[in-house]
Amino acid sequence: MTEGREVVLASSNPGKIREFDALLSPLGWKVIAQNDLGIEGSDEPHRTFVENALVKARHVAQRSGRPALADDSGLCVPSLQGAPGVDSAHYAGPQRQDQDNNQALLRALSGSTERRAFYYCVLVWVMHGADPTPCIAEGRWFGEILDAPRGAGGFGYDSLFWVPECGKTAAQMTLAEKNAQSHRARAWQSLLPFLQA
Q: Which helix (H) or strand (E) holds 194?
A: helix 183-196
Q: Which residues are catalytic?
A: 72
Q: pLDDT at position 45, please?
A: 82
Per-residue pLDDT at 132: 96
**Averaged confidence pLDDT in the chain:** 92
Residue ranges of the chain whose pLDDT lies below 50? 1-3
Binding annotation for Mg(2+) = 43, 72
Which of 66, 170, 45 has its CA nearest to residue 117? 170
Give the integer Cα–Cα distance in Å for 197 and 194: 5
How confident is the model at residue 2, as a pLDDT? 42
**In sequence order, what are the residues at sequence separation of 6 or more whose Cβ sits closer than 8 angstroms to the Cβ of residue 30?**
4, 5, 6, 7, 24
Query: What pLDDT digit, counting tens, does each position of 50-93 carry?
Result: 999 999 999 999 999 999 999 999 999 999 999 999 999 999 99
Angle between helices 183-196 and 14-24 (to 10 degrees): 40
Q: What is the pTM of this model?
A: 0.86
Residues at the annotated binding site for substrate? Answer: 11-16, 73, 155-158, 178, 183-184
**For 37-55, how does the pLDDT look when each residue is reduced to its tens digit (9 = 90+)?**
999 988 888 899 999 999 9
Closest listed residue to residue 9, CA positions, set 20, 74, 1:
20
The confidence score (pLDDT) of residue 4 equals 59
- Tell me how many degrees the CA angle 76-186-115 measures, rounded to the nearest 5: 25
Q: How many domains does the chain have?
A: 1
- Which residues span the domain enclosing 28? 5-196
Cα of 153 vs its chain's centroid, Å: 15
